[in-house]
Amino acid sequence: MRLGPLPRLGMPDQRVQGESGRERGEDPASFWAKTYDYCQAQVPVREQTKVVGHAVRAMYLLSAMADLAHENNDPTLLATCQRLWNNLITRRMYLTGGIGPSRHNEGFTEDYDLPDETAYAETCATIGLILWNHRMLQFAGESKYADVIERGLYNGFLSGLSLDGARFFYENPLASAGAHHRQSWFECPCCPPNVARVLASLGGYFYSTGPKDVWVHLFAQGKADLKVDGREVVLRQITEYPWEGEVKFEVGVAAPQTFTLHLRVPGWCERWSLHINGTPLTGLAPAANGYLAVEREWRPGDSVEYRMEMPIQPVWAHPAVRYLQGRMALQRGPLVYCLEGVDHGGISLDRIAIDPALVGSNQFTVEHQDRLLGGASLLHGRGCVVDEEGWNSVLYRHNRPSIKPTEITAIPYYAWDNRAPGEMRIWIRSGTP
């Protein structure tokens, strides 16, 4: 089942028709990358098992494959998309929704190669990831695709734009020593207009409709004018999301109308509750696709109150991601958080550690500040840091460094590098340094 129509990226080339670069007689030695993998032409697409090469090219190709899978009702192309999606999401995607770790090919290397400080993670690559997952979401309404869209939108995409809208990141590392900053333009200016395109089309990612269904994929304050079974339905969201997990839906129908409202349960959400016109809805569990299906006759004035609990959550990387072992990240709702040097008094962020047992306890708190970073919720807690005392005249010593407590402030990753220049780090040492 396809939930709704989507804009086309244009007809794909011969790769989708079943040819590889070698079968077309092309010589990879004729261009700088020296490999068919760079442009995903190493084998016919239906035989590919890993997402390789230039990350933006890969996402646009996969978007076209998803379009053709729908257009031609081609289960082989859909199965290929699903297989490559599993490889990308479980082995090759950053926590932020960034993809493509390597500057050399602006793309992929090997499974679990996800360095943080040298991450390339081009803004356009995350945009391509969003475009592809939006297409995959429309086939059967599986929430895992909407989870990727949300992760990318709030983190790896939004970080590409400064809060004043005037400067851009081409690359989005997950750690910085302080020299990485947004620019007003680039010699290769793909990211600025691509960011503008996504922002202008953002409303199209939130909902899908079926013959007797409305699907809510994303959450934000706003109003949607939809058509269900030929009749107009107005759905209004009232919420402070992503700062808070409560969303009120006002359902506008001209006369009683029966349809199913599908509400996504985000992958980060472990507990939720639902009220219809103030009455708790009990006994409802998410379907296998990850959505709550509320079927009823909707009447003028009906409302739905959906509460997703939003604690601070620690995150760990797969043991095969060698750069990140012994480290953890902080996430709240869809937002990945980071530390910035400006909040930590000149302490090197790599020397700070957090006890994961404290995360989610009353020793870590959330504070929303309306005037900071355009309005943002900050995380505050206690950690510890390696003391520099006794290191003035030595490079190595036999006695263990001393540890002292320190206060921690974390901001949403998308908002970093909007204040004083300095360090940034998502992945923090876990336990004690």
Specify whether 61 is located in the same domain as 192: yes
Q: Beta 428-430 vs 352-354: how paired, if at all?
A: parallel
Spatial contact of 312 and 366, defined as CB atoms under 8 Å apart:
yes
CATH number at residue 260: 2.60.40.1180
Question: Three-state SS across 346-367?
Answer: CCCHHHEEECHHHCCCCCCEEE
| Cα–Cα distance, 331 to 310 (Å, whole number) | 9
Alpha carbon separation from 245 to 193, 232, 314, 375, 406 (Å, rounded) = 31, 28, 18, 16, 29
Specify whether 188 is located in the same domain as 263: no
C-alpha angle 308-311-312 in degrees, rounded to nearest 5: 140
Phi, psi of 330, deg, nearest 5: -115, 135
DSSP 8-state code for residue 248: E
Q: What sign for the dihedral angle of Cα 104, 67, 147, 165?
A: positive
pLDDT in tens, the chain (433 residues): 345 444 444 434 445 555 555 666 667 666 666 788 888 888 889 999 999 999 999 999 999 999 999 999 999 999 999 999 999 999 999 999 999 999 999 999 999 999 999 999 999 999 999 999 999 999 999 999 999 999 999 999 999 999 999 999 999 999 999 999 999 988 888 888 889 999 999 999 999 999 999 999 999 999 999 999 999 999 999 999 999 999 999 999 999 999 999 999 999 999 999 999 999 999 999 999 999 999 999 999 999 999 999 999 999 999 999 999 999 999 999 999 999 999 999 899 999 999 999 997 888 999 999 999 999 999 999 999 998 888 888 999 999 899 999 999 999 999 999 999 999 999 999 987 7
The tokens for 235 are 């759905």
The tokens for 9 are 């990226």
Closest CA to 212 of 235, 230, 188, 186: 230
| Cα–Cα distance, 27 to 142 (Å, whole number) | 40
Q: Which residues pair with 251 in a beta bridge?
A: 235
Q: Examine residue 411 and state whether it is found in any structural domain, yes or no.
A: yes
224 CB contacts (<8 Å, ≥6 apart)?
203, 206, 207, 234, 235, 236, 237
Q: For residue 336, is it left (φ>0), alpha (ψ between -120 and 50) or beta? A: beta
- Domain range enclosing 406: 312-430
Specify whether 299 is located in the same domain as 330: no
pLDDT at 12: 43
Spatial contact of 291 and 264, defined as CB atoms under 8 Å apart:
yes
Please identify, among 285, 308, 331, the residue that sits at the C-terminal boundary of a domain.
Answer: 308
Q: Examine residue 354 and state whether it is found in any structural domain, yes or no.
A: yes
Q: Examine residue 6 and state whether it is found in any structural domain, yes or no.
A: no
Q: What is the residue-wise DSSP string for 325-337? A: TTEEEEEETTEEE
Please identify, among 253, 275, 308, the residue that sits at the C-terminal boundary of a domain.
Answer: 308
Specify whether 172 is located in the same domain as 254: no
Which residue among the candidates 19, 26, 117, 190 is catalytic per the annotation? 190
Specify whether 164 is located in the same domain as 240: no
Please identify, among 276, 308, 340, the residue that sits at the C-terminal boundary of a domain.
Answer: 308
Residue type, 306: Y
Instruction: Return the biggest CA–CA distance within the chain.
Output: 81
The yes-or-no answer on residue 106 being catalytic is yes
Specify whether 120 is located in the same domain as 221: no
Q: Examine residue 56 and state whether it is found in any structural domain, yes or no.
A: yes
| Cα–Cα distance, 246 to 62 (Å, whole number) | 34
The tokens for 142 are 């599986």
Q: Examine residue 282 and state whether it is found in any structural domain, yes or no.
A: yes
Specify whether 135 is located in the same domain as 21: yes
* H or E stretch at 264: strand 257-264
Cβ count near 433 (within 10 Å):
17
Q: Examine residue 4 and state whether it is found in any structural domain, yes or no.
A: no
Specify whether 217 is located in the same domain as 189: no
Which residue among the candidates 106, 142, 171, 305 is catalytic per the annotation? 106
Length of the chain: 433
Q: For the chain, what is the domain count? A: 3
Three-class secondary structure of residue 153 per DSSP: helix
The yes-or-no answer on residue 190 being catalytic is yes
The tokens for 241 are 């999301």
